[in-house]
Amino acid sequence: MKSFNSSILKSEAAVTLWLTAAIFAASAEPIIVKLGYAAGVQPLQILVLKNCFAAAVVLLLTRKFVWVGLKQLPHLALLAFLLFCTNGLILLSLTLIPAVVVMTLVTTTPALVAMINSALGRDKVTARFWGGFALCLLGVVLMLEVKSLAANPLGILAVLSAVVTSSIYRVQMETACKAVNPLVVSSYQFPINVFLCIPLMFITPIVGPEALKVGAIVGSAAAMANIAFLSAMAIIGSTRVSIISLLQRPLLLVLAIVVLNEPASALQLLGIVLTICGVQIAQVKRKKPPLVIFPETASDRVAQTAADSIPSQSEKQAGAVAACFSNHR
């Protein structure tokens, strides 16, 4: 089995296709979690099992776990902690409010990411971006059911806190991918979170077959989404990736229609169309060039630097011509 290679993502079209496929897999998570809750699965069981299964899948797919050094490790650990907090807050909110409300509030994440990146001088956020984002937001609202708008304040607070931690995670992750290969970064996130889960294992109820099933599904989906998310971010930036991730809401509705046999109104179908159009319109202008995917280890970087210092054949020929011209002067 070959490991995933980020070189396949050579254009935004390829990035969007791969990221959409991963988002489609991750879109099932709220539905699977809700079904798990209905079957008696506890949030702590899902949190622990999700991270364990995700760590195994990430390491299997990427095969990029290498030592990054003491300088990079604290930054990656902080990112893993932010991801852990985001996952925990989302799981908590799903025990208190409907999944559709959770996904709607999460829609605000790209706006916060865009504002942070704009303040950092990474992106130039234009009227086109806000117009496309507004179209996405309108589409998401149209996909809601009025009866789902009633929500527990604690659940709403949990989701909004997840929006903040997720936004910081995405902006900081873009910085991390400047220094470390995105696949290496991904290979650290969930394994670190497994260590964070160790204290929780002592208070987690005994895991049954249903909990294992839910943990395996959401963990595998989270792993694939994380790999795609980080690989795409290194090419098109965290703001654009966040906008593309808004496709999760219409995909969630489609899954609800197919899996849960829920009817869809004309307004909800219109919302799907508006969200897809808004994702395409909401472009940002990068003030800084695309990130370079660096070699994974220090030895690789030294080898790459040495290789770059060796003149190419054309450079040698040009040097020889220049020397000959100098001797004849």
Q: Give the pLDDT means over successive 10-residue stretches in the chain (329 positions).
A: 47 64 70 86 92 93 82 90 92 82 79 85 84 85 62 83 91 84 89 93 89 92 85 78 77 71 76 83 69 43 40 42 41
Cβ–Cβ < 8 Å for 153, 159: no
The confidence score (pLDDT) of residue 15 equals 62
Compute how many other C-beta atoms are within 10 angstroms of the C-beta atom of residue 190: 27
Exposed e or buried b for every residue in 179-188, given b needs 16+ CB within 10 A?
bbbbbbbbbb
- With tokens 């999700």, the residue in question is 50
Question: What is the Cα–Cα distance from 63 to 2, expressed in whole angstroms?
Answer: 9
pLDDT digits (tens, 9 = 90+) for 170-218: 888 888 887 788 888 889 999 999 999 999 988 888 889 999 999 999 9
- With tokens 């909800």, the residue in question is 268
Q: Which secondary structure element, helix H or strand E, spans residue 190, and what is its range?
A: helix 182-201
Sequence-distant (≥ 6) Cβ neighbours of residue 138 within 8 angstroms: 271, 274, 278
* DSSP for residue 296: S
The confidence score (pLDDT) of residue 12 equals 56
The confidence score (pLDDT) of residue 321 equals 36
Model-level pTM?
0.72
From 79, 108, 270, 111, select the one nearest 192 (Cα to Cα): 79
